[in-house]
Chains A and B, each alone.
Chain A
Amino acid sequence: MAIDPSRIRRYEHGSRVPGWDEAADLTKDPAEVPDPATTPVPDELRAEIESYMSRYPDFRSATIPALHAAQRLHGWCSPTALEQVACVMRLTPAYLTSVATFYDMFETVPKGPVDVYVCTNISCSLRGADAVYAAMLDAAGNDPEFHVKPFECLGACDIAPMAAVDGEYVGPLEEADCRQIVEDVKAGRPVLESKQLRRRKAAGT
């Protein structure tokens, strides 16, 4: 049984692996810990990162909170953002890149400012999460203000299918709610107030 080669999806450069043609520039020296004299860091970002560093016996523990702070300020973990964190924490940008690429909440490519995580895991998909995700993409997928991302279990299976809009858990969602979410965000209102998880009573009461 032969498989038709045209069915195998390939990138433009002909490989099934993304990014192999973006080779590292081997003539360049590796990026070192940035020099504070030539790396401007916004004062509030520096203060926030330093306060995180003071909480831990080993300052490197502050990496994740620091990256969160930088992502909030810059919109994504851009090379500038990583350089600023590296400068304050005295780490190499490569170390921070290794951490930022591991975790789902850090984006190393530009993204819209409003994160919409739609849960597509088992419990939610049993109740129609895939249709909700498609509707969400329809409503906000091309909107530069939004960053719609399918997410693994967000820990709110009692309101399945659900989504987290900038950290606010809403559900159970119907397809029509997706448009409402977009409108609420644009109008600066609380998102889908009647379906917010924090207002929900415990089950069985």
Chain B
Amino acid sequence: MELLFDNIDQPGLNTLEVYRRDRGGYEMLAKALEMEPADVLAQLQASGLRGRGGAGFAMGTKASFLPQGDMDKYVVCNADESEPGTFKDRELMQKNPHLLIEGLAIAAHAVGANKAFIFIRGEYAYVATIVETALEEAKAANLLGTLDLWVHRGAGAYICGEETALLDALEGKRGNPRLKPPFPAVQGLYKGPTLINNVETLMNAPIILRMGGEEYAKIGTARSTGTKIVSVSGCVERPGNYEIVLGTPTREIIYDLAGGPLDGKKIKCFFPGGSSAPVLPGTDEYLDVPYDFDSMAKAGSMIGSGAIIVVDEDVSIVQLALKTAKFYRHESCGKCTPCREGTNWTVKMLERIDGGEATPMDLDIMASVCDQIMGNCLCVLGDSMAMPIGTMIKHFRAEFETHIDEARERAGLGAANPQYNRDEYAGPTPALT
């Protein structure tokens, strides 16, 4: 079933003319503007649409948190898609920018906002140009009513995908996350109530109005309604964006849609939802997990932004962990100590493992560092490193230990002495031989 990706490659779909002629463009906005805001909100709530950016919070509920009244309210579209492995919003915005503008205008009407911004990451320069052109067309055709909508380009920082850091960046500051609460719905951009939604979430709004909220809720599973664009990348034959109905088995996405791993190799592990998601081993138990919010959470991971990164058996888990940790070290904004120091020390420990200076006890220290980052910062960037690194150690401890031994041999330091766990919560006890 294709809702967002329906004939996405149609030539000229990014122009207002084709969008209005073939897709009934802006009809739903006109319909929404005739409805009471509360009725639009009720439709969104009835659809059960959950945020597609990562957290999976119900969009209608989030919108209903904004206070009623005539104060200045804002809608911000989070198009700062920086999660490694995610590229769905780029393709959606590039090929169908008017759907985003229409969805944004509908959301703005539902919450009573008259000022809106699309925050696009600076690297997406050509996509931003396409969206800007579409926006000018829509403004020239006088379709947006009283809504004042602008495209704002970022300048390259992963942290700006976090909603409060995005607001700081949009206010012209360094992108540092804020303390929550107050949540943006109460006090966000310029201290006004602000609704922040991902591109894909907003694009679903016109579709929901067309189908009716209750009809939309019938797609997918009971608590994960609708379709989802999944970005599959890494060691697969056909990397790309695929639209699936939520609840499709993960195996079907990786093998049937994306063609499975290269050269018929085995899957070692995969990130189910971008590099921030805990990794799952490529065993049947995990490949058969239905791809929806709750099933993935039950399996110990999350669907996050919907980016599956497949890692095949030839990849060294230590190199993968190092790459992941280095990314988070680079992108940590430095505001909270556990994240700033924790990401840095994790990289240092992984480099020691790689260089042959480590002992298996370093794995326990690393696991405890991850444990102490979790939940102790203003935002989840630190947790986003701790979760994949922690699960890599959990699932592939034997490989880490072999790597440590081999690297020690190479460095001429000799085998490490067997180490006992000194910390009770620091992962499973290694087998002594």
Contact = CB atoms under 8 A, between A and B. Distances in A.
Given A198-B94, A205-B9, A103 B157 contact: yes
B266 interface: no
Given A105-B156, A123-B84, A202-B91, A155 B233 contact: no
Contacts of A64: 122, 152-155, 169, 172
Contacts of A117: 123
Residue of B5, B154, B232, B240 with highest tally of chain A CB at under 10 A:
B240
Interface string A103-119: 11110000000000100
A127 B330 contact: no
B239 interface: yes
Contacts of A168: 126
A158 B240 contact: yes
Given A1-B413, A57-B190, A64-B154, A99 B172 contact: yes
A158 B230 CA distance: 11
Interface in A137-190: 151-160, 164, 167-169
Nearest to A159: B239
Given A57-B72, A64-B153, A155 B172 contact: no
B172 A60 contact: yes
Residue of B233, B323, B413 with highest tally of chain A CB at under 10 A:
B233
Given A61-B172, A126-B311, A202-B9, A105 B90 contact: no
A99 B174 contact: yes
Contacts of A58: 171-172, 190
Interface in B47-64: none
A167 B333 CA distance: 24
Contacts of B147: none
Interface in B231-268: 231-235, 238-242, 257-258
A55 B172 CA distance: 13
Residue of A104, A106, A157 with highest tally of chain B CB at under 10 A:
A157
Interface string B54-84: 0000000000000000001000000001111
Contacts of A1: 357, 413
Contacts of B403: none
Contacts of A106: 155-156
B239 A160 contact: yes
Interface residues of A, number: 48
A153 B126 contact: no
Interface of B: 5, 8-9, 72, 81-87, 89-91, 94-95, 115, 121-126, 150, 152-158, 169-175, 190, 231-235, 238-242, 257-258, 271, 275, 307, 309, 311, 315, 320, 323-324, 327, 330-331, 333, 357, 413
Give 9 closest A-B pairs by Cβ, nearest first: A203-B240, A157-B233, A63-B172, A104-B156, A167-B125, A103-B155, A153-B84, A105-B156, A60-B172
23 contacts: A57-B72, A57-B115, A61-B170, A64-B152, A104-B155, A105-B122, A122-B84, A122-B324, A122-B327, A123-B233, A127-B235, A151-B156, A153-B83, A155-B82, A155-B87, A155-B89, A155-B124, A160-B234, A198-B126, A202-B240, A203-B241, A203-B242, A204-B240
Given A57-B72, A122-B85, A155-B90, 12 more contacts: A64-B172, A102-B333, A103-B156, A104-B156, A121-B323, A157-B85, A158-B231, A164-B123, A203-B241, A204-B240, A204-B242, A205-B9
Interface of A: 1, 3, 55-58, 60-65, 67-68, 98-99, 102-106, 117, 121-123, 125-127, 151-160, 164, 167-169, 198, 201-205
